[in-house]
Structure 1
């Protein structure tokens, strides 16, 4: 579904991504792990059109989207849940979900999809009239994911969904990610919690200082001595 070929990105003189190549097949959960500042978020932001590639290609379902704007990519069913959630705090839960569907015209199906989000995240249904800024961190993360789903993505880019959440909530969020994937949404996941991310990933990439250093199945990487030492606390 998604193919990145020799992607380079610069922030001024800083070479943030160096010839990054990766693929995400339809129906997969692919995770990207690495230390802070390794280039994980830059990779997602470049795929979604928020950062501009210096060189390289981004191919979505066989179409070159490297030079398309972020809104054009949303129309092609690419949706990102940003790091830090970025919900609209002064709007209600329901209004946030409606904003996720702003490019859609199918009002009846939008209504049905909102109900489906409430099935995935029951707490959002109970809080639908509440201002999003008054939700807990975990509820805001669920809202950010629900809002992204309202654009009917074929591929969902998730940036640090477990950040700042209690361990119990982290498990719940990862169960929901698996449920979303089982409904046919392809997922590219960036995550600091390497153990949880690898445990649900079909395949994974390790990024170090802007370059892909290692790749394999989630199981292969979680059992790798190198990964255990570097990312899993040596357990």
Structure 2
């Protein structure tokens, strides 16, 4: 579904991604783990068109998308749920969800999808008319995921969904990731919480200082001594 081949990305003079290659197949949850500053968020921003690679190629559903504008990329079904939630604070929950569907014209289906988000996250239903800036961190994360789902993603890029959340909410967010995947959405997950990420993912890539240093089935990586030492706190 997604093929990233040998991309190099710079932030000014900083070489943020160095020859990164990875693939995501339809139906998978693939996770990217790595320390802060390893280049995980940079990679997602490059996939969604917010950054342009200096070299290498990115193919989504057989079409090259490297350097395309973000709107065109969303319209093809590649949707980014950004780090730090980025909800529109001075708009209501409902208005945020409507914005998720801004490229769609199928109004009856949009209503149906909004009801599905409210079924998945009952707390958002209770707060549908509330300004999203007044929600708790966990509720904002649910809203950010709900808003991304309103675009009907074929591939959902999820950046640090558990960041700053209480353990109970973290478990809920990861359950949601599994459910979304079971219902047919492919997921590329960037996550500091390597323990949880490896539990929900099929495969994983480990990024260190802008390079892929390890890749394999998630359950195997979770057992690897190297990963345990570096990321799982064992």
TM range (shorter): over 0.9
SS at match of 1:57: strand
CA distance in 1, matches of 2:15, 2:160: 22
Q: How does 1:14-93 map to 2 (within 5 A)?
A: 14-93=14-93
CA distance in 1, matches of 2:218, 2:120: 25
Q: How does 1:112-127 map to 2 (within 5 A)?
A: 112-127=112-127
* Superposition deviation, residue 119 in structure 1: 1.0
* Superposition deviation, residue 120 in structure 1: 1.0
* Superposition deviation, residue 11 in structure 1: 1.0
Q: Number of matched residues?
A: 234
* Superposition deviation, residue 122 in structure 1: 1.0
CA distance in 2, matches of 1:103, 1:12: 32
- 1:166-209 Cα shifts (integer Å, max 9, x gaps): 00000000000100001100000000000000011000000000
* Superposition deviation, residue 67 in structure 1: 2.6
CA distance in 1, matches of 2:65, 2:4: 10
TM-score (norm 2): 0.99
Runs of 4+ with deviation above 2 angstroms:
none
* Superposition deviation, residue 13 in structure 1: 1.4
SS at match of 1:86: coil
TM-score (norm 1): 0.99
Equivalent position of 2:140 in the other structure:
140
CA distance in 2, matches of 1:52, 1:67: 5
- 1:63-103 Cα shifts (integer Å, max 9, x gaps): 11113111110110111110000000111100000000001
CA distance in 2, matches of 1:67, 1:54: 9
CA distance in 2, matches of 1:81, 1:216: 24
Q: How does 1:59-208 map to 2 (within 5 A)?
A: 59-208=59-208
- 1:2-29 Cα shifts (integer Å, max 9, x gaps): 0000010011111100000000000000
CA distance in 2, matches of 1:62, 1:82: 24
RMSD: 0.5
Structure 2, unpaired ranges of 5+: none
Equivalent position of 2:233 in the other structure:
233
Structure 1, unpaired ranges of 5+: none
Kept in 1, the 8 Å contact 2:31–2:190? The answer is yes
